[in-house]
Amino acid sequence: MISKPTLGHAAAFSIFYRDMGAADLPFLEQLYRSTREGELAMTPWSEDQKANFIAMQFRAQHEHYQAHYPDALWLIIERNMKAIGRLYIEAWPEEHRIIDIALMPEARGLGMGEAILRDLISDAEAQGKSVGIHVEKNNPAMTLYKRLGFEKTEDKGVYDLMHKSPEPSALPA
């Protein structure tokens, strides 16, 4: 079992984590849509068609995550008592796997994602574990992951499996 991330770097942004609940599903669908807006903009679909597509895709993703990561921690990222993102993470014997991390557009590019990732890395390193995540090859956050020391360990087609190994100096004695 994994516990909520330490609020080290993220505390500077007044970030707080809380457990996801059923009442969060509308927000999570809105967040999911925000990550797909670029793709939606290229379609000739009506707003209703886009909304139906997003609802279907969000539901499928949510059900997949819940079924395949039964021991995960499902967190809503809040700032100033307002939901701004999601963090889904699961602890494995050698790794903390980030299943998904996403922030609303207004929270992107401000350093909050980097702060959250730095805290996740610190927590994993304290246990001698790496941090892993699947990242879409064209995800703008790929630059951030590389800057933080994540390296591609496997090509998964549209995604790269990235890992950040613990720094030797951070390993428990």
Distance CA 83, CA 167 (A): 32
State the pLDDT at residue 116: 97
**pLDDT tens across 94-113, in order?**
999 999 999 999 999 999 99
The model's pTM: 0.92
Residue 86 CB neighbour total at 10 angstroms:
22
Long-range contacts of the stretch 87-91 (C-beta < 8 A, 24+): 87/5, 87/17, 87/116, 89/2, 89/5, 89/120, 90/2, 91/1, 91/2, 91/129
**pLDDT tens across 109-145, in order?**
999 999 999 999 999 999 999 999 999 998 889 999 9
State the pLDDT at residue 1: 64
Distance CA 52, CA 64 (A): 18
Distance CA 29, CA 102 (A): 12
Sketch out the chain's domains with CATH numbers: 9-170 (3.40.630.30)
**pLDDT tens across 15-39, in order?**
999 999 999 999 999 999 999 998 8
